[in-house]
Amino acid sequence: MTDYIKKALECDYENYIEFLVKMVDDSICSKKIPLREAAEAIVEEAFYQLREYKEALDKLILDANANLDPPCRDDAELENHTYDAVVEGIHRDEIYMSQKTGTVTNQNRI
């Protein structure tokens, strides 16, 4: 089990998203599941853990809201934003690498 709480306490929101992107990417590769399914499972589990530890969730919300416009009103809105950011990050990377290398995109990653 991944300790999403520990990671949330150690880093800022942008780095937390990068951490989740790596987790989702690993899940896509190892389980051969689509991006949205993998992202939903990972982000949902992360926020489930974070809701159990209010200090970590509050830190993440404060850090995220310092950079988001408009800021998130609650943890559910932050969870949705995080999911979108993870999906967009992986999707954008896949398109970029596909164009750069001239290869076909991995359909599980778009």
Separation CA 46–CA 101 (nearest Å): 33
- DSSP line for the chain: ---HHHHHHHS-HHHHHHHHHHHHHHHHHHH---HHHHHHHHHHHHHHHHHH-HHHHHHHHHHHHHH-SSPPSSHHHHHHHHHHHHHHHHHHHHHHHHHHHT-PPPGGG-
**pLDDT exceeds 70 at position 38:** yes
pLDDT reading at 41 higher than 70: yes
Residue 105 falls inside a structural domain: no
In a domain, 109, yes or no: no
Tell me, what's the pLDDT at 1? 52
| pLDDT tens column, 11-33 | 999 999 999 999 999 999 999 99
Range of the domain at 66: 4-100
Count of structural domains, the chain: 1
The chain-wide mean pLDDT, for the chain, equals 94
What DSSP string runs through 10-26? HS-HHHHHHHHHHHHHH
What is the pTM assigned to this prediction? Answer: 0.93
Does residue 11 form part of some domain? yes
